[in-house]
Structure 1
C-alpha cells in the first residue's frame, strides 16, 4: 500500500494495522472517522514507528495511545 497519499483509505489501513499490532481491545476508540487528514503525517509517523518494533513496554503503549487520543477530532 502506498501511504504517500493522504486519503481516508490510508488512514483506515494504518489504524487497523495499529490496532492489530498493539492488540487494542477497545478497537472502537480508534475509529477512522475520528481522524482528519490534517493529522495524516503524525498518524503515519506513529504507524511507521509501531511497524518497526516487535514489542512495547507499558509506558510506550500508554504514550502511543495518549498520542492517538490527541490526534482524534
Structure 2
C-alpha cells in the first residue's frame, strides 16, 4: 500500500491498522468516512506515531482518540 497517495482507501487502511495496534474496542471515532482527505497528512502523522509504539497507556490512548476526534469532519 502506497500511503504517500492521499485517498479515502488509504485513510481507511491507516485507521484500521491504528485500531488493531491500540486494541480499540469502540471504533466509532475511527470510521474513515468521518474524515476528510484534507486531513490526510495529519492522520498519516498520527498513524506513523501509533505504529511505532508497542504499548499505550490509558492517557496515551485517550490523547490519540482526542486527536482523531479533532480531525473528524464537522457535522
Q: Normalization by structure 1: what TM-score?
A: 0.95
Tell me what 1:46 maps to. Answer: 46
Aligned to 2:25: 25
| Unmatched tracts of structure 1, length 5 or more | none
Task: Give the gaps of 5 or more residues in structure 2.
Answer: none
Partner residue, 1:57: 57
Matches of 1:8 and 1:39, distance apart in 2? 11
- Supply the distance in 2 between the matched residues of 1:64 and 1:57 (Cα, whole angstroms): 11
TM-score (norm 2): 0.92
Runs of 4+ in structure 1 over 4 Å off: none
Displacement of 1:29 after TM fit? 2.5
